[in-house]
Amino acid sequence: MATFKPLVFSGMQPTHTLHIGNYLGALTRWVDMQKTHDCIYCVVDMHAITQGLDVWGGPKVLAKSIREVTAAYIAAGVDPKRSIIFNQSQVAEHAELAWVFNCVSRLGWLNRMTQFKEKAGKDREAASVGLYSYPNLMAADILVYRATAVPVGEDQKQHLELTRDIAQKFNNDFAESIAEHGFGDAFFPLPDPLTQGPAPRVMSLRDGAKKMSKSDPSDLSRINLTDDADMIAAKIRKAKTDPEPLPSEAKGLAGRPEAENLVTIYAALADETTEAVLAEFGGGPFSRFKQALGDVAVARLAPIAGEMRRLLADPGHVDAVLAEGAARARAIARPNMDAVKDIVGFIRSA
C-alpha cells in the first residue's frame, strides 16, 4: 500500500461569527496540531454560498465573515507562518477536483447525507445543487492536498466517510492509470477523521438540549468570539440554570443539561476535569459558580476578542495573510491536480 506524508486539513464556513463552541471544540485542537503536524486551515467560502443568500448574508457580509473567521483562526493561535491559512475560493484547484469527484461520487451516496436533509429542510426541490454536491467539494478540499488527517466534529464524520469512499473509488477505477503514471497502487490516501481528544460538546446557554449554534436567533444562546468582557459576563449571568445547587459528583449532572453544559464549559476553559470543578463548586449556589465561570471566560476569551479587533482594524493585512496562504496552498494543489488530469486522461499543456 502506498504511504502518504502526514498532513492535516480542516476548514470552517464563514457564516455568522464564531462562538466558544467553535473555539473549544475545534480551534484549540487546530492550534495543538500545529506542534506535531503540517497543517492547512481553510476558510471554506465556497461552501458558505450553498444555502440561501439570507443564510450567508450576501456579498458584503460574506467578505466581512471571511476576514472575521481568518482573524479568529489567528487570534486563537493558528500561526500563519507555520500553518497555511487561506480562503477556499482563491485556490481554483478545489473546484477543479470537485468536478472530477462529481463524476466519481454516486447519487446513492449523496442521498444518504443527513446534513443535506437537515439543511434542505422540507422543500428539497428548492435546495441548490451546490448544497447537494457539498460533500464532493469537501472531499476535494481534503484530497487536493492528499491530506491524511482531518480534525472534525461528530457531525462531519459522515462527510469524512464519503471522502474515503470517493478516494477509494478513484483509486480503484483508475488503478491501472495510477500505476502507469508512477503513483503505485493508490493516488489518494484515505483520510482519517480526528474526532477523539478533549472536544467538549458546547450547548446553547438558553437550552441545554440544543448545540450552541452560530445560526440561533438568540444572541444570548452563545458566547461569540467577538464578545467583549462585559458581554461575556452578562451572557453567563443570564444563562439558563435549574433551581438545585450544583452536585458534588459528575453523576449528579444527569438529567440537568444546563448545569452540565456550564460545568463542561468551565472545565474546558480552565483546563480542569469535571470532577475537579464539582469538587470545588458542588453544593454551592449557582451564583458563586457563575461568577467564577464569568471570570475564567473573560480571562481566556476577552484577549482573543481584543486580538480579533486589532487584526480586523487592518483588513489589508488579513487579506495579505490569505493571499500568501493561497499561494502556498496552490503550490501543493496544482501538481496534485495535474496528476489527476494525467490519470483521468485529460490533455494538458505542460
Give least dist CB 151 to ligand TRP, A: 8
Catalytic residue among 169, 214, 240, 341: 214
Report in angstroms how near the CB of residue 233 gets to ligand TRP at its nearest: 29
112, 174 contact by CB (below 8 A): no
Identity of the residue, 10 or 65, whose beta carbon is nearer to ligand TRP in the bound complex: 10
Nearer to ligand TRP, 116 or 289 (CB): 116
Compare residues 232 and 326 and give the one whose CB is closer to ligand TRP.
326
Residue partners of 309: CB distance under 8 A and separation at least 6: 226
Q: Which residues bind ligand TRP (CB under 6 A)?
A: 9-11, 13, 44, 47, 138, 141-142, 150, 152, 156, 159
CB of 306 to ligand TRP, least distance (A): 26
* Of residues 102, 96, 105, the one with CA closest to residue 168: 105
Cβ closer to ligand TRP: 22 or 204? Answer: 22
Compute CA 118 distance to the chain's CA centroid, rounded to the nearest angstrom.
Answer: 18
- What is the closest distance, in whole angstroms, from the C-beta atom of residue 189 to ligand TRP in the complex? 14
169, 210, 211, 341: the catalytic one is: 211
3-state SS, residue 331: helix
Cα separations in angstroms, 269 against 68, 121, 169, 305: 22, 35, 42, 15
- Cβ at position 26, least distance to ligand TRP in Å: 8
Nearer to ligand TRP, 144 or 253 (CB): 144
CA–CA separation, 127 and 124 (whole Å): 5
Please choose, from the candidates 318, 348, 306, the residue with its C-alpha nearest in 3D space to the C-alpha of residue 75. Answer: 306
C-alpha distance from residue 262 to each of 22, 49, 202, 234, 297 (Å): 16, 33, 9, 14, 11
Q: CB-based contacts of 287: which residues, under 8 Å, 6+ apart?
A: none
For residue 197, give every residue at least 6 positions away whose Cβ sits within 8 Å of its Cβ, in sequence order, or none. Answer: 29
Beta strands in 143-292 (DSSP E): 149-151, 192-194
119 is catalytic: yes
- Catalytically active residues, by annotation: 119, 211, 214
